[in-house]
Structure 1
Amino acid sequence: MRTYKVALVGTGGIAAIHADNLSRAKDRVELVAACDVDEARLAAFSDEHGIVGRYQDLTQLLAEAKPDIVHLCTPPMLHIDQAIECLEAGVHVLSEKPPALSLADFDRLNTAQAVGGTQFSCVFQHRFGDASAAAQALIGGSDFGRPLVARCDTLWYRPDSYFELPWRGSWKAEGGGPTMGHGIHQFDLLLHLLGPWTEVTAIASRQARATSTEDLSVALVRFENGAVATLINSLLSPRETSDIRIDCEFATIELSHLYGYSTDNWTLTPAPGHESTVANAWSGQPLERGSGHSAQFLAMYDALDAGKPLPAGADSARQTLELAAAIYASAFTGVPVRRGDIVPGHPFYAGMDGAGLGTRVLDETALSVPSPV
């Protein structure tokens, strides 16, 4: 197994999670460099995590530290340009979500990957727990049967003070509200479990938070396999949970957690007459490892060792980003959106606000909503 040289770009809160999880990978990784425009923050972070290479410029880092992989832990509006620079320099990229603020920007990755002979992956760590792998293997099979009905809720709470950072709650910096920045993890897992989506009908509104984006979206999604799911993405929910429920022909499988899960967070309910079959199918799967960044990091190194495509790579990350775009497009136009509808020339291809349509709709809605206290 090869030891990979890794650099962290951005040294804020999420970078600390990356550094802590990289330390668990032991001899699979060497954390060789960090980069941040804030010199004091860079120094404090590097001292804490024992990082020798310290840079305030990404181009210089790539030239001098020569990492194999760069982890992008910067604000969302920086992800795509930084990813392209790394890929073209021959460095693999693992980017925090969202991978880009629009499908137009995301599609620039194809050329960059080809130029550098490198790969892009997005941090969708919920895919990588043992239980999600077991669920993916069993849903649609003979033991669980076809998936029929599902729900996927990201019910989180963010007070007004959360948006004091100037890049939060804006279309230009985050690309959207909880649909893009919060619920995307959970509905990415839903897509991982159920497969390709085909059509979405949605609403979005600004209920209470002083942002330019939505603070709530609700969607009805149909999948290629015939399953139908509801999705709620909220920043207005004092009792925070992240929930997925999938009703198959012979079993209901549920996940309830907040920011990560273990096997204990999953619940199975067999249909009458299928108790032993469902229980045996589940217990026959490896169910030790929970979700988390370290699980995705190790899966990435294994793929590189084997010369295989990276998990959560560009193609599957695009499907998730396309669903986010479709939720906004349906919410702000009032019509269903099918997968593949949002192409170059479509108003929601270049931005999640539909060339300003989303902002106008939310502003009109807000006229009837009391101002935030």
Structure 2
Amino acid sequence: MPSYRAAIVGTGGIAAGHVEALRAHADRVELVAITDVDADRATAFARDWTVPAVYNDLASLLEAQKPDLVHLCTPPSTHAPLAEQCLRAGVNVLVEKPPTLSLAELDTLAAVSGETGAQMATVFQHRFGAGAIRLRNLMASGELGRSLLASCHTLWYRDDDYYQVPWRGRWETEGGGPTMGHGIHQFDLLLSILGPWQRVIAMTARRARPVQTEDVSTALVEFADGTLATVVNSVVSPRQVSALRFDFEHATVELDHLYGYTDDDWTITAAPGHEELARRWPAASTPARSGHADQIAALLDTLDAGQPLPVGLAETRQTMEFIAALYASAATGAPVQRGEITPDHPFAAHMNGHR
């Protein structure tokens, strides 16, 4: 029998990906229940995916099922209160991006987690793909030499109709524009590979979409080891791509994909004298695509071992602090240092600084 019981809150489009990820590990975890504010949609979802139980609200689900893990697949503004409800019930929770609307909300959840012992993790699945793991291993071995330069471009296209969904494109309900809701997966991968960021200089703009937030953003980032990187996020780019590039002393490693990568999406170009590095990459290739199932596997491993969940609150905060710093720099025109956004800083409580 599976060791763990999982439940899903919210049955919108992303919930199907969570069901598929759980089914990929059906020998280890079982989806036992769902809930949604739309009862008809929840019933239809349960029928389509053969989920055994449907509840009218999260409280009823937690009381009746006592799951080991709850997946939050709801709109961003609901993440903090629903996650807190799970944590106070002593239940671990996995939250879709963006995990909260602000650093302040995230810090509140960290405090609750500290009180109850229940854990929260964020869905940043690209960290767990085979290519990202291979790159980290090559870096750790020292074979690539020092990191020098990087770029991370999330150039996507969302038309005006996309923003007819009431919560999209609004500070109070989405927390930001493509920086918060689209590019976050790619630059989280960037941060997970390059380590602590040190300083951000940024600009944002609303160029085309009918939104309150930005629809494009750019940032220059300095990392603790001296690496410089550019980060671009867009929802106005007809030729869509998610592209990352890492220039090391001995090789350039690149990733071009859209919503999930395989080994075929990675390339490595060796510097003269280091040609053996180019042969290392395809030798261990895998056809698997990065996705939720990779992170679920890592999460289940940590539950088995009694260890902290991967991409827990501390790791999540590094990415969320980067977002807050980007918005603060864009609003003020000044560089923002890591650690500068303290709890009393205007951009800690709101990603637009209540402007």
Whether the 8 Å contact between 1:83 and 1:95 is mirrored in structure 2 is: yes
1:222-301 counterparts in 2 under 5 A?
222-276=222-276, 278-282=277-281, 287=286, 289-301=288-300
Q: Hey, what does 1:353 align to over in structure 2? A: 352
Which residue identity is paired with 2:113?
Q
Q: Hey, what does 1:98 align to over in structure 2? A: 98
Q: Hey, what does 1:336 align to over in structure 2? A: 335
What do you get for the CA RMSD once the two structures are aligned? 1.3
Which residue identity is paired with 1:338?
Q
Q: Hey, what does 2:307 align to over in structure 1? A: 308
The residue matched to 2:346 in structure 1 has which SS?
A: coil
Cα offset, 1:274, TM superposition: 0.6
1:197-216 counterparts in 2 under 5 A?
197-216=197-216
Residues of 2 paired with 1:328 and 1:141: CA distance? 35
Q: Hey, what does 1:107 align to over in structure 2? A: 107
Q: Hey, what does 1:359 align to over in structure 2? A: none
Whether the 8 Å contact between 2:2 and 2:26 is mirrored in structure 1 is: no
Whether the 8 Å contact between 2:103 and 2:349 is mirrored in structure 1 is: yes
Residues of 2 paired with 1:327 and 1:336: CA distance? 9
Residues of 2 paired with 1:38 and 1:287: CA distance? 40
Residues of 1 paired with 2:86 and 2:158: CA distance? 33
Whether the 8 Å contact between 2:119 and 2:309 is mirrored in structure 1 is: yes
Residues of 1 paired with 2:161 and 2:280: CA distance? 46
Residues of 2 paired with 1:26 and 1:140: CA distance? 33
The residue matched to 1:115 in structure 2 has which SS?
A: helix
The residue matched to 2:354 in structure 1 has which SS?
A: coil
Cα offset, 1:289, TM superposition: 3.9
Cα offset, 1:285, TM superposition: 5.4
Structure 1 residues 295-332: Cα deviation after superposition (integer angstroms, max 9, x where no partner) = 10011000100111111111111100110111100001
Whether the 8 Å contact between 2:2 and 2:30 is mirrored in structure 1 is: no
Q: Hey, what does 2:33 align to over in structure 1? A: 33
Residues of 2 paired with 1:333 and 1:22: CA distance? 43
Structure 1 residues 64-104: Cα deviation after superposition (integer angstroms, max 9, x where no partner) = 11110000000000001111110111111100001110000
Residues of 2 paired with 1:249 and 1:49: CA distance? 49
Residues of 1 paired with 2:257 and 2:40: CA distance? 35
Residues of 1 paired with 2:38 and 2:290: CA distance? 31
The residue matched to 2:153 in structure 1 has which SS?
A: strand
Residues of 2 paired with 1:89 and 1:285: CA distance? 43
Question: Alignment length, in residue pairs?
Answer: 355
Whether the 8 Å contact between 2:6 and 2:68 is mirrored in structure 1 is: yes
Which residue identity is paired with 1:242?
S
| The 10-residue stretch of structure 1 (212-221 or 17-26) with the greater mean CA deviation from structure 2 | 17-26
Whether the 8 Å contact between 1:140 and 1:147 is mirrored in structure 2 is: no
Which residue identity is paired with 1:77?
S
Q: Hey, what does 1:327 align to over in structure 2? A: 326
Residues of 2 paired with 1:287 and 1:49: CA distance? 28
Cα offset, 1:24, TM superposition: 1.4
Whether the 8 Å contact between 1:140 and 1:146 is mirrored in structure 2 is: no
| TM-score normalised per structure 2 | 0.97
Where structure 2 has 5 or more consecutive residues not aligned to the other structure, the ranges are none
The residue matched to 2:27 in structure 1 has which SS?
A: helix
Whether the 8 Å contact between 1:130 and 1:288 is mirrored in structure 2 is: no
Residues of 1 paired with 2:176 and 2:253: CA distance? 30
Whether the 8 Å contact between 2:121 and 2:313 is mirrored in structure 1 is: yes
The residue matched to 1:62 in structure 2 has which SS?
A: helix
| TM-score normalised per structure 1 | 0.93
Whether the 8 Å contact between 1:8 and 1:34 is mirrored in structure 2 is: yes
The residue matched to 2:343 in structure 1 has which SS?
A: coil
Cα offset, 1:174, TM superposition: 0.5
Which residue identity is paired with 1:14?
I
Residues of 1 paired with 2:279 and 2:142: CA distance? 13
Where structure 1 has 5 or more consecutive residues not aligned to the other structure, the ranges are 357-373
Whether the 8 Å contact between 1:203 and 1:219 is mirrored in structure 2 is: yes
Cα offset, 1:287, TM superposition: 4.6
Give aligned-pair identity as a percent: 54
Q: Hey, what does 1:62 align to over in structure 2? A: 62
1:82-161 counterparts in 2 under 5 A?
82-139=82-139, 141-161=141-161
Q: Hey, what does 2:162 align to over in structure 1? A: 162
The residue matched to 1:107 in structure 2 has which SS?
A: helix
Residues of 1 paired with 2:254 and 2:71: CA distance? 31
Structure 1 residues 219 and 140 mapped into 2: Cα distance closer, same or farther (>3 Å)? farther
Cα offset, 1:141, TM superposition: 4.2
Structure 1 residues 259-287: Cα deviation after superposition (integer angstroms, max 9, x where no partner) = 000111000000011101x1354356575
